[in-house]
Structure 1
Amino acid sequence: MENTFDNKTLLIESTDQVRVDFYKKTYTHVAGGVLLFVLFEYLLLQSDVIVNFMLSMTQGWKWLVMLGGFMLATSYAESTVMKTSDKNIQYMAFALYVFAQAIIFVPLLYMAIFYTESAALVQQAAIVTLALFVGISAVVLVTKKDFSFLKAGLTVGFFIAIGLIIAGALFGFDLGLWFSVAMCLLAGGSILYQTSNLVNKFGTEDYIPAALGLFASLMLLFWYVLSIFMSRD
């Protein structure tokens, strides 16, 4: 996700204080997105109707329909926050995206909690995900290196991943542990890229679009870290 706003003061051209304020706003919004996700997820998991419906949608072409709907919601949210400077509209798009993430996570989190009979596995995966996210982000924020060169590789990687997911859903084979490991590496690269955009590409008022991109990469990493943890048990 790249900045398309015109006539904006780029963060990289601003003072140190402006950049610090921008980073604080961005990561505060990422944290807010995580808290909203937790709230949405808690409410969704309380509904047997929603849980049973989402579990029924995890097989074959039904899962592809769910992924297609999620990708549409993602595309709409990203394009909306990038095409307008109206903060209210940006917040609505961000909230919609968080809700879409909460919906798609329902079956994975339910199985993680149900099969272990506790939330310990989810908590462990969340801690590891957060530690990786902070560490990867710190690399960019400290070095200020431009990782925009990763865009082409990430694009190819995501298309390959989507193809494998579609094939797995249609033909019923498990993508396995190594696919989850590869997706964690891809998510890590995405965090590098998004954080690099944060430093080098965004304008001083683009903290909501920046937060959405980082939140998306964080949730992708969490999905596959949790998948790896589940594969151990």
Structure 2
Amino acid sequence: MNQDNFPQYDRPFEALSRVDDETRALFYKKTYGHVALATLLFMVVETLLLQIDPLVNFMFSLAQGWSWLLVLGAFMWATSYAEKMAHTSHDRNQQYLGLLLFVVAEAVIFLPLIAMALQYQAMAGEESNLLSQAAVVTLSLFTALSAVVLITKKDFSFLKSILAVGFIIAIGLIIAGMIFGFDLGLLFSGAMVLLAAGTILYQTSNLVHKYHTDQYVGAALGLFSSLMLLFWYVLSIFMSRD
């Protein structure tokens, strides 16, 4: 990849809201291109991890009780660090390293859920296509929500505080469920799909209104994060249905 084709932080760059349509379209193309690459990399890494039976069994062993809280804590730390690298580093290589770290962290945290979905498919027989169905629904929702913002140019920055409160409540419910041993159920998954939809609107709004023309890696990471959150709970709903 020729680095000369990409802008660097040590040169002035304009806010995306102030540039012409051609420059804005190029930024969108780069951002969603990186989202697609991150998604493809996630699929590759996840496929490789699923071939390592000791790792799959280990993640399954951690998927219950307090041990899963430790996994979630490590995941939140890793993804927070990755986001910082992608958004604040002046080094383009550091930005890509942050995106890579984020993708790998997502692949690891998804490992027990994907393995369980594959087991569901195997038990259901050849007619079952659980993962593909969940992926199609997720991508359709992601595309539709993104299109709403890109077409209308509406500013959804007001969702920031609402989403923050929503995530705090969700984390509290997850912790309570692990402590007291109750299943959060389908209603919780549905609420989390709505929360994920809100993050997609918020992240896409940032893409339109907040970023500068050199920040497409960070923008892609934010969108990819929202996409993965949506996929987790759409897949959870499909598994509950089956």
TM class by smaller structure: over 0.9
Do structure 1's residue 142 and structure 2's residue 151 form an aligned pair?
yes
In structure 2, what residue type is equivalent to 1:83?
T
SS in 1 for 2:205: helix
1:26-80, Cα deviation, whole Å (9 max, x unpaired): 0000000000000000000001011000000001000000000000011101111
Q: Give the alignment of 1:5-44 within 5 angstroms.
A: 8-44=13-49
In structure 2, what residue type is equivalent to 1:190?
T
Do structure 1's residue 95 and structure 2's residue 95 form an aligned pair?
no
Mapped to 2, the partners of 1:93 and 1:107 lie a distance apart of 23
Match of 1:125 in 2: 134
Higher mean displacement: 209-218 or 116-125: 116-125
Do structure 1's residue 65 and structure 2's residue 74 form an aligned pair?
no
Match of 1:209 in 2: 218
- Aligned-residue offset at 1:204: 0.3
In structure 2, what residue type is equivalent to 1:98?
V
1:95-134, Cα deviation, whole Å (9 max, x unpaired): 0000000000000010011122167101100000000000
In structure 2, what residue type is equivalent to 1:17?
E
Match of 1:56 in 2: 61
TM-score under structure 2 normalisation? Answer: 0.92
How many residue pairs end up in the alignment?
A: 229
TM-score under structure 1 normalisation? Answer: 0.96
Q: Give the alignment of 1:188-199 within 5 angstroms.
A: 188-199=197-208
Tell me which of 184, 189, 206 is aligned to 1:175: 184
Mapped to 2, the partners of 1:115 and 1:150 lie a distance apart of 36
Do structure 1's residue 165 and structure 2's residue 174 form an aligned pair?
yes
- Aligned-residue offset at 1:10: 0.3
Structure 2 runs not aligned, ≥5 long: 1-8
- Aligned-residue offset at 1:195: 0.1
Structure 1 runs not aligned, ≥5 long: none
Mapped to 2, the partners of 1:57 and 1:169 lie a distance apart of 12
Mapped to 1, the partners of 2:224 and 2:178 lie a distance apart of 26
- Note the aligned Cα RMSD (angstroms): 1.3
In structure 1, what residue type is equivalent to 2:83?
E
SS in 1 for 2:14: coil
Mapped to 2, the partners of 1:205 and 1:229 lie a distance apart of 38
Higher mean displacement: 180-189 or 117-126: 117-126
Question: Is the 8 Å Cα contact of residues 60 and 171 (structure 1) preserved in structure 2?
Answer: no
Match of 2:4 in 1: none
Higher mean displacement: 83-92 or 96-105: 83-92
In structure 2, what residue type is equivalent to 1:211?
A
SS in 2 for 1:173: coil
Mapped to 1, the partners of 2:178 and 2:221 lie a distance apart of 28
Question: Is the 8 Å Cα contact of residues 16 and 212 (structure 2) preserved in structure 1?
Answer: yes
Give the greater-gyration-radius structure (CA).
2
Question: Is the 8 Å Cα contact of residues 31 and 217 (structure 2) preserved in structure 1?
Answer: yes
SS in 2 for 1:193: helix
Q: Which runs of 4+ in 1 moved over 2 A?
A: 5-8
SS in 1 for 2:191: helix
- Aligned-residue offset at 1:87: 1.1
Mapped to 2, the partners of 1:222 and 1:56 lie a distance apart of 23
Question: Is the 8 Å Cα contact of residues 49 and 111 (structure 2) preserved in structure 1?
Answer: yes
- Aligned-residue offset at 1:213: 0.2
Match of 2:120 in 1: 115
